[in-house]
Amino acid sequence: MSGFNRYFIISVLSLIIDLSIFVISYSSGLSIFHAAIIARLISSVYNFLFNKYYVFKSLSSSPLPYEIIAFFFLAFANALISAAIINALGLLSVFFASSGKLLIDSFLFALNYLVQKKIIFKS
């Protein structure tokens, strides 16, 4: 199985984990904000570990703290970029915001694969 296929599978599983934990947390009485933060943190840790050791099989000379900081910086940057563009498109209409989100997130998904492969995990 190619690295990109493994990346895709791990990303889908991360999404399932994120949504599941969000639903459980929110159903347990947490606010939407807190449920979303907890879900994203847990799914991001899962995503980092599986990307590092399964997708990119990173045993690089880069220190683990560098990989962790770079990975979470990338995730944070993605969230900001996506939210800013979607917010701008949302001013036009819900259709543009929804369509834009799909395109933006697809582009960021592919870009993230390359950044993680070439810069973060250097595989």
- pLDDT per residue over 39-53, tens digit each? 989 999 999 999 999
Could you tell me if 44 and 69 lie in one domain?
A: no
Could you tell me if 49 and 26 lie in one domain?
A: yes
Residues spanned by the domain of 120: 60-123
Could you tell me if 116 and 66 lie in one domain?
A: yes
77, 74, 76, 82: which is closest to 114 by C-alpha? Answer: 74
Q: Is the pTM of this model over 0.75?
A: yes
Listed as ranges, residues in the chain with pLDDT below 70 are 61, 91, 94, 97-98, 123
Residues in CB range of 119: below 8 A, 6 or more apart: 70
